[in-house]
Chain A
Amino acid sequence: SAVISQKPSRDICQRGTSLTIQCQVDSQVTMMFWYRQQPGQSLTLIATANQGSEATYESGFVIDKFPISRPNLTFSTLTVSNMSPEDSSIYLCSADRENTGELFFGEGSRLTVL
C-alpha cells in the first residue's frame, strides 16, 4: 500500500486568502484525487489529477477556485482560492497506484476559514 502525506494537517485562514495543500506519495502513482469532506458528511470528489495533463473537475468545482498541480508521479497540490467560511472543510488527497479502484488516502487537511 502507498503512504500519503499531506501538509498542512490543519490551518486557520482569513476570508479572501488562498491556501495550498501539498500531497506527497511514497511511490509513483498514475492517478491522484482530491476530495472534500464536510464534518459528519461523506466525501465529495473535487477533481482527478494526472501527471502531464490538466486536472479533471467534477460538477460544482472549477479550476479558478481549486487550481491543482501535478508536476510528477509522486506529488500534487490543491489550492483553495479566495476562501470563504463555506470552504471550511477537510480536504483529502488520494491515490490509485494500480488503477484497481483501491484508493489510499492521506490523513486530510482540516481548513477553517474565519
Chain B
Amino acid sequence: LAKTTQPISMDSYEGQEVNITCSHNNIATNDYITWYQQFPSQGPRFIIQGYKTKVTNEVASLFIPADRKSSTLSLPRVSLSDTAVYYCLQTGANNLFFGTGTRLTVIP
C-alpha cells in the first residue's frame, strides 16, 4: 500500500497562510498527488492535484519538489470556515488510499 505521512493536527490564526506538508515515501511514476478537504458529516471534497512543480487554483496552491517525495498544500489567508481535515493521497491506478489526515483548526 502507498503510504503518506502528514501531521495529525495544526492550529492557525485567521488571516494567516497555512502550509501542510505530506511525505510520499513510495510514490510511483504514474501517481499524481491529490489533496482533499473534509468537513464533519460530509464526504471529502477535492481541493487540488499535481504531478510536479507548482499548481495553483482559486482556493490553494500545491508545491511538489523534483523528487516528488513530498508535497505542500498552501492555503492563503485562512478563515474559520477552513477548519477541516485535510488529506493527501498518492492517486493512480488502483491507488486510492487515504492517510491519517491533518486536522486544521483556525482560531479567531
Interface size class of A (residues with CB under 8 A): 20 to 34
Known: A103-B44, A105-B44, A107-B43. A43 touches B94 (CB 8 A): no
- The secondary-structure label for the interface of chain A is strand
A100 adjacent to B49 (CB under 8 Å): yes
Given A99-B93, A103-B96, 9 additional A-B pairs, CB 8 A: A42-B98, A43-B98, A45-B97, A45-B98, A94-B43, A100-B91, A102-B46, A103-B91, A110-B41
Collect the chain A residues with CB atoms within 8 Å of residue B97's CB.
Answer: 45
Q: Is the CB of A103 within 8 A of B46?
A: yes
- Take A33-B96, A101-B92 as given contacts and tell me if A43 and B44 are in contact as well, using a CB distance cutoff of 8 Å: yes
B41, A101: Cβ atoms under 8 Å? no
Find B49's partner among A44, A48, A101, A104 (CB 8 Å cutoff). Answer: A101
Q: Mark B81-95, 1 if CB is under 8 A from A, else 0.
A: 000000101011111
Chain B residue nearest in CB terms to A110: B41
Asked if B89 and A101 sit within 8 Å, CB to CB, the answer is yes
How many angstroms between the C-alpha atoms of A85 and B39 in the bound complex?
Answer: 25
Contact partners of B100 in chain A: CB under 8 A: 42
Please tell me if the beta carbons of B43 and A92 are within 8 angstroms of each other in the complex: yes
Q: Does B69 contact A (CB under 8 A)?
A: no
A53 CA to B99 CA, complexed, in Å: 28
Q: Which residues of B contact A45 (CB under 8 A)?
A: 96-98
Name B30's closest neighbour in chain A (CB-CB).
A101
3 closest residue pairs by CB, A with B: A101-B91, A105-B43, A43-B98
